[in-house]
Amino acid sequence: MSQHDEGHTVAGWTGTAIATVGSGLLGLAVCTVSVPVLVAGLAVCAVSVLVTWYLHLAGRGKPPGPRPRSQWPLGVRDTAARDGHPGCVSCRLAGRGRHPSSALRPTPVTGTPEQPATAETGS
């Protein structure tokens, strides 16, 4: 088993199941040339992303990277999700995990701005 145990969470399995249904609808839409079924498949795929994101933020997902073996079972809730996971795109999109020590935070530019280039005219 992987040391990262990625995707073995309620959020991962639920999102995968919903996305599988959406992909099946998209395949059916292609085979039957049906625009309403195509739109429904796209909607279900979009819902899978939102449900997975919500479950991750609710503590049913896990942060990226290695975790202790005690946190590997499917039903273990992540208590650190409320503060946000460092380096997690989902948490950053939700406004969580923005700590002053974050490497992803923009740094202010110091010094003087560059002088605009001037064109030399020759005679």
At 33-75, the pLDDT tens digits run 999 999 999 999 999 999 988 988 888 887 767 777 777 777 7
pLDDT at 20: 97
| Encoded tokens for 86 | 């460092």
CA 49 – CA 96 distance, rounded (Å):
18
Q: What is the reported pTM? A: 0.67
Q: What is the pLDDT of residue 49?
A: 92
pLDDT, tens only, 71-94: 777 777 777 777 777 777 777 777
pLDDT of residue 74: 76
